[in-house]
Structure 1
Amino acid sequence: MTIKSMHHLGITVTDLKGAVAFFVELGMELEGGMHMEGEFVDGVIGLDGSRSEIAMLKTPDERYRIEFSEFETPQSIDGSSHAPINALGLRHVAFVVDDLDDTLARLKPHGAEVVRNIETYQDVLRTCYVRGPEGILIELCEYFD
């Protein structure tokens, strides 16, 4: 038996509205949001008395989703959101964009910062890492036609 598909990636943040605004500006679409609490949720995530707000965003092709969660209780703990790329664990999310320079210009007012450089790999692509809201590390790739 193999998996059928990936449903979503979950990211916990302290500013849900800011994270949603950033990723909508990037080009994702808000699919929906809701308040989460109760025995069912506690049983799934393993935290008693949890209360959170979530927002589900999808890529324009509807193939991928990111669920952002902001916890009211219990209080979120620092998961080393500003760790470098070589730290263990989930480190970055990568997106293909049409125009890297335009994307960076649109994300800058939302706090995006290029980690170091925009690099070109042969005649294939331009790419860079960007720190977004909550220190989320994002790789942006523009492929050459």
Structure 2
Amino acid sequence: MDNVAIVVDDLEAAVAFFLELGLELEGEAVVEGVVADQMTGLDGVRSAIAMMRTPDGHGKLELTKFLAPVAVTAGPDAPPPNTLGLHRVMFAVDDIDDTVARLRRHGGELLGGIAQYENAYRLCDLRGPSGIIVALAERIG
């Protein structure tokens, strides 16, 4: 897999959120033209993208803000976690409490609470910029 792309309405806020989570900004660009139109099946595509890389260098997250045509909402502003389609992106963290506290400063909101799965993991889901759901997993024991 090369990357996972997420469409956002505030690119700067999304970049700040994922930087706080520990991802690194690999690069930014504006994408437009025939290739972008052909790939998406849309006409007149112009989008700003930020490519984020996981600290281990193995995963990438492409944050995309459509400048034209503008992004559309397919349902409620904050769809529930059981909505069909891409559900969430999960990240392994060393300290889930600290990570949640830092992400709250960037608009992160817990969907429920921090749960413990046996003596193996502490887990949670939180909603970030543009309604993105991020899951966190802290290995314990």
Q: Which of the residues 44, 59, 64 maps onto 1:64?
A: 59
In 1, distance between residues paired with 2:35 and 2:136?
36
Aligned to 1:110, the other structure's residue is in SS state coil
> Superposed, which structure 2 residues align to 1:1-145 within 5 Å?
6-80=1-75, 82-145=78-141
Distance of 1:117 and 1:43 partners within structure 2: 42
Percent of pairs with identical residues: 46
Q: Distance in 2 between matches of 1:127 and 1:105?
A: 14
The amino acid of 2:116's aligned partner reads: T
Shift of 1:84: 1.2
Q: Distance in 2 between matches of 1:14 and 1:85?
A: 19
Give the C-alpha shift of residue 113 in structure 1: 0.7
For the residues of structure 2 that align with 1:123 and 1:130, how far apart are their CA atoms?
22
User: SS where residue 105 of structure 2 aligns?
Assistant: helix
Divergent runs of 4+, >2 A = none
TM-score computed with the length of structure 1 as normaliser: 0.93
SS of corresponding position for 1:83: coil
The residue type equivalent to 2:139 in the other structure is: Y
Q: What letter corresponds to residue 24 of structure 2 in structure 1?
A: E
Give, as a single letter, the amino acid of the residue that structure 2 aligns with 1:12.
V
Q: Distance in 2 between matches of 1:91 and 1:41?
A: 25
Q: Could you tell me how far 1:79 is from its partner in structure 2?
A: 3.1
* Partner secondary structure for residue 107 of structure 1: helix
Distance 2:30 2:83 in 1: 32
Name stretches of at least 5 consecutive residues in structure 1 with no aligned partner: 1-5
Listed one character per residue, the Cα deviations across residues 51-94 of structure 1 (whole Å, up to 9, x for unaligned) are 11000001000111110110111011013452111111111110
Structure 2 counterpart of 1:71, which letter? F
Shift of 1:138: 0.8
Corresponding residue pairs, total = 140
Amino acid at match of 1:129: D
Q: Which runs of 5+ in 2 are unaligned?
A: none
